[in-house]
Amino acid sequence: MDYSPPSVVMWPFTRVLVNDNERHFDLAALYEALDGKRASLGMTWASVAREINAQFRDVLGHKPIAVSTIKGLKIKAIGEGDGILQMLLWLGRTPESFVLGANADPKLGQLRQLGTNQILRWDTRAIHRAIDAKRTAEGLSWADVARQIGGMGVNSGTLTRMSNGGRTAFPHVMRIVRWLGEPAANFTRASDR
């Protein structure tokens, strides 16, 4: 499958510091949206998991998303980032649509649909580069950036370790991309693993 990254889209708002609740990705609301679609289609949770996993079924060495992972969103404070991207794709929703106060315009920041031989993942190295560029331009330390972003799971170590690549989690990844002032989709990548 030929893949071309989307052009970078900036959110049409001026960044202002907002209280923590306004920047929080609502995992319980994601659960409610998944449950609502499940119920409207007359599906079991096992069927939902199969459909979500079918989106990336031909990815080498993929680990399927378990029913317990999906249902656990109702009560969890943290969710695995790449798995939640797959759930959002199944719903046809943007990450921003689950953040109070975010621009949820479906034309901005739409996640890329991929073939079954690829999976959408967070590009944590790209997130790190963007944070570092903004941090340097504003003369901030990593600790300053972590304080400005705020919230559970965000500290200077979390931010600097993103340079190594790897996984990230909700809700803190959304706090980070909101601080950057860009749609979450700008920091995703297609992967064949």
Q: What residue ranges do the domains of the chain occupy?
A: 24-191
Cβ-based neighbour number of residue 164 at 10 Å: 9
Q: How far apart are CA 51 and CA 46, in angstroms?
A: 9
Least confident of 15-19, 88-92, 93-97, 145-149: 15-19
Q: How far apart are CA 77 and CA 170, in angstroms?
A: 8
pLDDT, residue 7, reads 34
pLDDT > 60? residue 98:
yes
Using omega within 30 degrees of 0 as the cis cutoff, is the peptide bond preceding 12 cis?
no
pLDDT > 50? residue 31:
yes
* Neighbouring residues of 133: CB distance < 8 A, sequence distance ≥ 6: none
Reported as a single tens digit per residue, the pLDDT across 52-69 is 999 999 888 888 999 999
Say what the alpha-carbon torsion angle 41, 47, 51, 57 is, to the nearest 10 degrees: -170
pLDDT > 50? residue 131:
yes
Strands (E), 56-112: 79-80
Number of residues written out for the chain = 193
Q: How far apart are CA 174 and CA 191, in angstroms?
A: 20
With tokens 């199969």, the residue in question is 50
Q: How far apart are CA 29 and CA 74, in angstroms?
A: 8
Reported as a single tens digit per residue, the pLDDT across 138-153 is 999 999 999 999 876 7
Cβ-based neighbour number of residue 17 at 10 Å: 9
